[in-house]
Amino acid sequence: MDAKKIEATRRRLSSEYENLIKSINRNRLTAEQIKLENTEDECDLATISRFRLIEYHLHESDFQRLRFIQEAMKALDRGQYGDCVRCGNDINEKRLMAVPWATLCILCQEETEKDRNSSDLVTAGPEEEMDL
Ligand SMILES: [Zn+2]
């Protein structure tokens, strides 16, 4: 990858990073509001737990992407951007255009998703709290 492309990717990643931080903060505020509005209404516990679930999933995917972006920026610094962290092959350039924070090639991505889905069922639950 040439210097121009690296610079463009770095800019894209850091603006993506900032957007994500903003969206996490916005989601937090919305979630707080939902909680405030709903705690008075004791009959509507189902609504509260549904919102908690949405909030959890929002955060989960945001935080995950935040981590990927950080990893991709580190890889850029090391000059290893575009290499799959699992098998070492080049990540398809089209994939990087669509998902600039991709750290896995498409094959490894599919593999880890399979692994994650099966372990998620056991370990993850909406009761877990996450902090920045
Ligand atoms: Zn791979």
Query: How close is the Cα of 123 to the center of ligand 1, in Å?
Result: 25
Q: What is the pLDDT of residue 50?
A: 72
Query: How close is the Cα of 127 to the center of ligand 1, in Å?
Result: 33
Query: How close is the Cα of 4 to the center of ligand 1, in Å?
Result: 25
Query: How close is the Cα of 111 to the center of ligand 1, in Å?
Result: 9
Model's pTM, two decimal places?
0.66
Buried b (16+ CB within 10 A) or exposed e, 41-64: eeeeeeebeebbeebbebbeebee
Query: How close is the Cα of 91 to the center of ligand 1, in Å?
Result: 7
Q: What is the pLDDT of residue 33?
A: 79
Q: What is the mean pLDDT of each run of 10 residues along the chain (132 residues)?
A: 88 95 86 71 66 70 88 92 94 92 92 76 46 48
